[in-house]
């Protein structure tokens, strides 16, 4: 029995050790990583799924435009009552000479059949419609790619901003604990008469200020996590894994990718091509239209009272092939107005293309400069942090020896806290600047 108990204890001990190793071993992920957050957003985000449906819509639109070139089949059926008898088919001299009294006539005329109609020539309007639909399909694909890049950028910046706030909260909490310890020390000093009551009040005021900052930072983290959960289309966001990025030199961050190859610029090129096709399509209204119409059907109905076969139902097969030509000569300026509208749209597309080109150049330059500034800020903050830490240590020693007052010590602690905040801000600001450059260069999904 004793051996059994020892075996059970050893088993429980080993199990606990295994759990500890799995939970706390380096490299074992216990939270959501940045790459996992991006993957979830790309998979679950409803707005991105909506953009994907726009691609499907453009494909269906293209299929519909192509199908128009093959014409259509229609089933036709009608009934008409006339005040005078009608023949089921047009009369010819041979039909009248053969047996005039046997020619079917009816006042109740029925017809059913099938018709095929196809455009033989529309002034190239159908061809232009297909070309426009093909361009719209490409534009939908580019829009989807840009939506992906925008979503990736939004997720990454939210993720990094949450990490930044968590780092700020950790530093603030440590500062708050340091102030609590200082307050307790001052309280003891006041009791023995080594410090004045005003020193205790100053320490309490600083302590309360930091406590509120910690609460405010916690609230901001909660709000950002909720926003990130919306982008990921999930209920809640748990723990986020820290994200480290190499602080590369500014010249290494430059990317000479041709802006004219970017989807953001290519979309304007496609829109300009579409405007050109719309002008060409509007010109097709000045050409004649030619249609082929084929019909096969059955005319039938009861013979009227004037017919020798009164009341008998008769039927006749009818078929025809017709070529129609229609050429609009004058429409009071409507065609001209449509063409002018298309020309204006083309001018707008040209202006938009130029605007996007200039904005891309400006934004890329801004992104590179922001990376350089963030890198400089980080090195500066690290230097300041080292100096303020040393200053705080010195002021603490001076205060303990009575060579400095509480103001000098609180100021040194506050300066050190500012340096810590600068260092945190610069590190994460650098990452956000890099993400922005990736977004502009449409490299977000490749990272």
Domain locations in the chain as residue ranges: 1-30, 31-70+122-288+327-446
How far apart, in whole angstroms, are the C-alpha atoms of residue 386 and residue 407? Answer: 21
For 241-275, the DSSP string reads: ---------HHHH-----GGGSHHHHHHHHHHHHH
Give the distance, in angstroms, between the CA of residue 374 and the centroid of all CA atoms in the same chain.
Answer: 28
- What are 104-142's pLDDT values in tens digits? 889 999 999 999 999 999 999 999 999 999 999 999 999
Residue 70 φ/ψ region, left for φ over 0, alpha for ψ in the -120 to 50 degree band, beta for the rest: alpha
Average pLDDT along the chain: 85
Helices (DSSP H) in 45-124: which residue ranges? 46-68, 93-98
How far apart, in whole angstroms, are the C-alpha atoms of residue 164 and residue 218? Answer: 12
Q: Is 7 strand, coil or helix?
A: helix
Q: Which residue would you say has higher pLDDT here, 385 or 43?
A: 43
Is the pLDDT at 429 greater than 70? The verdict is yes
pLDDT value, residue 307: 80
Output the CA angle 49-51-56, nearest 5 degrees.
95
Which percentage of the chain shows pLDDT scores above 70? 89
Is the pLDDT at 447 greater than 60? The verdict is no
- Model pTM score: 0.79
Strands 72-87 and 313-326: unpaired
- What are 169-219's pLDDT values in tens digits? 888 888 788 778 878 887 887 888 877 888 788 888 888 888 998 899 999
pLDDT confidence band for 23 (50 / 70 / 90): very low
How far apart, in whole angstroms, are the C-alpha atoms of residue 246 and residue 307? Answer: 101
pLDDT value, residue 416: 79
- Hunting for tokens 């046997």 — which residue is that? 102
Is the pLDDT at 148 greater than 80? The verdict is yes
pLDDT value, residue 15: 41
pLDDT confidence band for 249 (50 / 70 / 90): low
pLDDT confidence band for 256 (50 / 70 / 90): low
pLDDT value, residue 304: 87
Give domain 31-70+122-288+327-446's CATH superfamily: Outer membrane efflux proteins (OEP) (1.20.1600.10)
Output the CA angle 139-341-135, nearest 5 degrees.
15
- What are 292-327's pLDDT values in tens digits? 999 999 999 998 888 878 888 988 899 999 999 999
pLDDT value, residue 41: 94
pLDDT value, residue 425: 85
Which percentage of the chain shows pLDDT scores above 90? 49
Name 322's bridge partners: 293
Of the listed ranges 50-59, 295-304, 381-390, the one predicted with least confidence? 381-390
Of the listed ranges 21-25, 98-102, 134-138, 233-237, the one predicted with least confidence? 21-25
pLDDT confidence band for 98 (50 / 70 / 90): low
Of the listed ranges 159-173, 377-391, 399-413, the one predicted with least confidence? 399-413
Name 294's bridge partners: 116, 321
């Amino acid at each position: 029995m004793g051996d059994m108990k020892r075996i059970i204890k050893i088993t429980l001990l080993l199990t606990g050790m295994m759990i500890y190793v799995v939970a706390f071993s380096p490299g074992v992920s216990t939270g959501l990583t940045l790459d996992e957050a991006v993957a979830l957003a790309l998979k679950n985000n409803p707005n991105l799924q909506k953009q994907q449906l726009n691609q499907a819509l453009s494909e269906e639109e293209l299929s519909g435009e192509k199908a128009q070139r093959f014409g259509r089949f229609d089933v036709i059926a009608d009934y008409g009552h006339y005040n005078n008898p009608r023949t089921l088919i047009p009369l010819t001299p041979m039909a009248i000479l053969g047996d005039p009294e046997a020619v079917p006539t009816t006042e109740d005329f029925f017809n059913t059949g099938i018709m095929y109609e196809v455009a033989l020539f529309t002034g190239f309007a159908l061809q232009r419609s297909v070309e426009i639909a093909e361009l719209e399909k490409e534009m939908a694909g580019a829009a989807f790619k840009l939506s992906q890049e925008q979503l990736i950028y939004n997720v990454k910046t939210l993720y990094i901003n949450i990490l930044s706030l968590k780092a700020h909260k950790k530093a603030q909490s440590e500062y708050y604990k340091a102030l609590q310890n200082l307050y307790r020390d001052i309280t003891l000093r006041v009791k023995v008469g080594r410090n004045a009551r005003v020193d205790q009040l100053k320490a309490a005021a600083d302590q309360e200020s930091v406590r509120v900052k910690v609460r405010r930072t916690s609230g901001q983290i909660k709000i950002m996590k909720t926003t990130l959960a919306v982008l990921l289309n999930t209920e809640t966001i748990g723990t986020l894994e820290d994200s480290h990025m190499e602080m590369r030199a500014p010249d290494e961050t430059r990317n000479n990718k041709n802006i004219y190859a970017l989807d953001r610029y290519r979309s304007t090129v496609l829109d300009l091509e579409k405007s050109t096709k719309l002008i060409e399509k509007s010109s097709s209204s000045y050409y004649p239209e030619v249609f082929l119409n084929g019909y096969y059907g059955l005319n039938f109905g009861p013979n009227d009272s004037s017919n020798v076969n009164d009341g008998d139902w008769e039927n006749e097969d009818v078929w025809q092939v017709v070529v129609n030509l229609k050429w609009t000569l004058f429409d009071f300026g409507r065609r001209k107005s449509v063409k002018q509208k298309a020309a204006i749209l083309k001018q707008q597309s040209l202006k938009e293309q130029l605007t996007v080109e200039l904005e891309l150049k400006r934004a890329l330059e801004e992104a590179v400069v922001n990376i350089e500034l963030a890198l400089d800020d980080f090195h500066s903050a690290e230097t300041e942090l080292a100096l303020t830490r040393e200053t705080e240590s010195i002021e603490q020693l001076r205060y303990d020896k009575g060579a400095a007052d509480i103001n000098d010590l609180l100021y040194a602690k506050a300066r050190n806290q500012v340096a810590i905040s600068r260092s945190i801000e610069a590190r994460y600001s650098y990452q956000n600047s890099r993400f922005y450059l990736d977004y502009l260069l449409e490299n977000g999904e490749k990272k």
